[in-house]
Structure 1
Amino acid sequence: MFGLGSATPEASILMPAATGRNLGAGMFVWIMVLLGEHKSLGAFFLCWTWTGIADFKVLYGHPKAEKRMLGVNVCYTAALGVLGAFLIGYAP
């Protein structure tokens, strides 16, 4: 779960919460795309980078985290920041 190789049954309760978080974010992204609200989408992406930072902190602090997931997380978080800034600065 989330790159944590030793998720206990107690820790796995986070899965439904994370699923809801990600589904809500995904729906917001699609709605903004369909409405043509590119600057709002860019602002959301910039805000959502904090989710990536928080996830990185969880992975980095867990002794049995899959270290390859740290790099994946950093790449996705950086991409969100760059895309968010681009959409705010250059989107119509």
Structure 2
Amino acid sequence: MAIDIYIWLAYRLHALDRPINVTWAALRAQFGPGYKELRFFRRDMLPSLKLALSVYPEAQVVVDESKGLTLHPSAPPIPERRIAAR
């Protein structure tokens, strides 16, 4: 799950122009549809999120244990490379 979260954050955060809130229910629908109970999904997702954020230090994500995540515009995890014109 950590790799999926990392890829999702890498895709989403640098494209944002303002902060957005993502509920636990929406996160479960995307990352854990096999979980019947939201509390078990949240319990299992938090360590994976922490791992994903440890390798993406530019990510600005605020965790609200009762509501979900707030995603803020962030630099991409890998800087854009530009090829010099000849």
TM-score under structure 2 length normalisation: 0.29
Q: Which has the higher helix share?
A: 1
Q: Which structure dedicates a bigger proportion of its chain to strand?
A: 2
